[in-house]
Amino acid sequence: MLYGIALMGYGIVGSGVVEALWTNADHIYSRTGRKPEIKKIFDVFDFAGSPVESLITHDINDIMENDDIELIVETIGGIDHAYRLTKMAFERKKHVVTSNKELVAAHGPELLKIADENNVKYLFEASVGGGIPVIRPLERCLIANEIVEIIGILNGTTNYMLTYMQNFGADFGDTLKRAQERGYAEKDPSADIEGHDAGRKIAILSSIAFGAFADYRDVYTEGITSITLEDIKRAGEIGCVIKLIARARRVDGEYLIAVYPMMIDKQFLLSSVGEVYNGILIRGNIVGDVMLYGRGAGKLPTASAVIADIIDIMRNNTSNTNYSSKWGEKLKIADIDNYYNRYYVRLEANDGEIAVDEALREFPDAIILPDDAESVADTKQVIFTTGVLREREFKLGLQRVENSSSGVKVRNYIRIYTEN
């Protein structure tokens, strides 16, 4: 018995889905009792001479009005066009599976509601971890737990760049160019290097973990564009590496969700996640720490997650109810000023001793790097770490340092991971 499937978008992910469906059609049949058949692919290009040429259509109605098509895979990307077509699919009583994190993060609650009203499914495992299964573990395997924290490296582009800078001493600009040449970064890399991609992903995970919709626009987001080789070197001196960290915590009834570069101890699990790999650590109040690791993007890894959703729907083994009923309520995300962290700070001054005095005046427990403060007397740069501080107090302290008459300037600061 055949199961009709169509695709909207035949780019990197879409072509991976087709390849994987064709390769594993018999395997899927053995698991579901039905054999997936790709009926149509909607795209603006013809793909002349390719194996899918006969399946290509430029008329979306060839999919929407075809009763033999039960499920649509949306791999168009972006928001507006994908939103309109996804909504249309639901209204035509067709299930939708997507890898589109932008769409889920922006319109998830509305689309889930429309899917429910039309008694169809909307699944998006591939929208967060690529090939890493994370939504299912959160929603099923860890359902007995109250999720205390999610902390992860959710963007392969920035992880590759920070790994390369650390290992080869390349500066940010050269490393970005290399990432683009290797296909790890887009021509316009802003969504990755400014943290927006990771921000959308942690918002989706927070929505599932905490049972209400976390709007990615409320997530504090900071990228890696300010990270220098000096910062990476200094991180190593205190036994740390720098990673772009997405973090969601429930603390004293507040939800702290943010994305920013952090120095993390080399003994911490996420420190060894390098290159384009992603790592997601989930803390449950019963199970403790669970670590998920793998390729967070790529043609076939992402296709793997898409097809897992397809199989779930083919088995009639899932529902939207756990999401759609909860996501009608919006999660209140705490202001970044309420977060607690340790901090690494890099100052610049004409006189290093004056900079040390200013640092110790505002942050009495500061540790000057290197340890012997006298060695900074003839340098124009002073680096120190703080104890655990509330973000608001830390920033006010930095403002007082810069506003003093000493001429000290703050050149950069980076949060240091703590479990507070």
Place of tokens 């070197």: 233
In the numeric block, the tokens 């107090």 are attached to 393
Query: DSSP letters along 203-255, please?
Result: HHHHHHHHSSB--GGGSEE--STT--HHHHHHHHHTTEEEEEEEEEEEETTEE
Q: How many CB atoms lie within 10 A of CB 217?
A: 12
Q: Where are the beta strands (DSSP E) in 25-100?
A: 35-42, 56-57, 69-74, 95-98
- 201 assigned to active site: yes
Distance CA(145)–CA(68), nearest Å, equals 41
Q: Which two tokens stand for residue 128?
A: 């967060």
Instruction: Give ∠ CA 63-64-70 in degrees, rounded to 5.
Output: 80
Q: What is the DSSP pairing of strand 56-57 with strand 409-416?
A: unpaired
Check 201, 233, 330, 380 and give the catalytic one: 201
Q: How far is CA 252 from the centre of its chain?
A: 25
- In this structure, the strands spanning 367-369 and 381-385 are antiparallel
Nearest CA among 288, 285, 238, 283 for reference residue 264: 238
Q: Where are the alpha helices (DSSP H) in 92-184?
A: 101-117, 126-129, 135-136, 156-168, 172-181
Half-sphere exposure of 86 (CA within 13 A, CB side): 31
CA 198/CA 154 separation, integer angstroms = 5
Catalytic residue IDs: 201
